[in-house]
Amino acid sequence: MVTASKSTRHPTPVPDWWKSRYLSAVVGNERLNVAAEDVPTTVPTSHYNMKVPWNEIDAYGHTNYQSYVRFCFDAAADAVSAGRYATFDGDILRYNVANIRSLYKSESRANDILNIISWQSPDDPRELHFSIQKDDGTLLFQSCMHFYPLT
């Protein structure tokens, strides 16, 4: 967890209310780390590779945090097109997201090659999982999206 001042854009101390709320998740003086999800080996996965385009870069030279969700939808569209998801067909954007969980672990830059691994939950076929890694294996982002059925 890093907080930044809106005016200086530099790191600032974590607010006391935040420390109190999440104290149970921190051990000693260690930083709060949320565990990443393992990519399963027992369910089919889909792989989508892409190069980070310049138009997704922020003022600090990093990929904008919102871009990772768009990258997941690109990967999902590719998987749907290839018939890799049992309950989705056509345009993935026709399906509305009921909820989403996201975990940001690291950063990427323009021209980095990303591997987006996705899979359907074996317990709920309307739930898609995504893991984005750089080509050197560095984990950048993970997300789990649960979709409403089409009406």
- The pTM (predicted TM-score) of the whole model is 0.82
Counting residues of the chain whose pLDDT is more than 90, the rounded percentage is: 73
Indicate if the pLDDT at residue 96 is higher than 60: yes
pLDDT per residue as tens digits for the range 1-12: 567 777 887 778
Map out the domains of the chain with their CATH numbers: 1-33 (no CATH), 46-147 (3.10.129.10)
145 phi, psi to nearest 5 deg = -120, 130
Residues ≥6 apart with Cβ < 8 Å to 92: 73, 76, 77, 80
pLDDT per residue as tens digits for the range 27-86: 655 666 678 899 999 999 999 999 999 999 999 899 999 999 999 999 999 999 999 998
Residues ≥6 apart with Cβ < 8 Å to 137: none
Distance separating alpha carbons of residues 48 and 116, to the nearest angstrom:
5
Residue type, 129: H
Q: What is the pLDDT of residue 72?
A: 98
